[in-house]
Amino acid sequence: MFKTIRIMLNVDKKDIIYLNSIIDSYDGIAIMRTIDKKLGNVVIFTTENFENLVIHLLNSLKQEGILLEIIGKEKNELIDKWN
């Protein structure tokens, strides 16, 4: 069984919907939840199998000019808590 990886991000609030759309377009690799839209806090849930792909995708988006910062990453099954 694969463990869930939580990747916590700060994103420019204007890019939250765009980032969510990109994540959704890669069917099945991850889901994204907005924790605080005013602060741009979001969390992406993926599995160990897709972790590297998701990180690569986030880094590619940064190179394209999307303002995002990975502020934490952990193996964690809790999907309803920010901390």
CA 38 to chain CA centroid, nearest Å: 17
Look at residue 82 and tell me if it is in a domain.
no
Q: What is the C-alpha separation between 37 and 40, in angstroms, rounded?
A: 5
Give pTM, 2 decimals. 0.87
Q: What is the CATH number of the domain that holds 14?
A: 3.30.70
23-75: pLDDT as tens digits: 999 988 999 999 999 999 999 999 999 999 999 999 999 999 999 999 999 88
The total number of structural domains that make up the chain: 1
What's the domain range around 42? 4-75
Look at residue 54 and tell me if it is in a domain.
yes
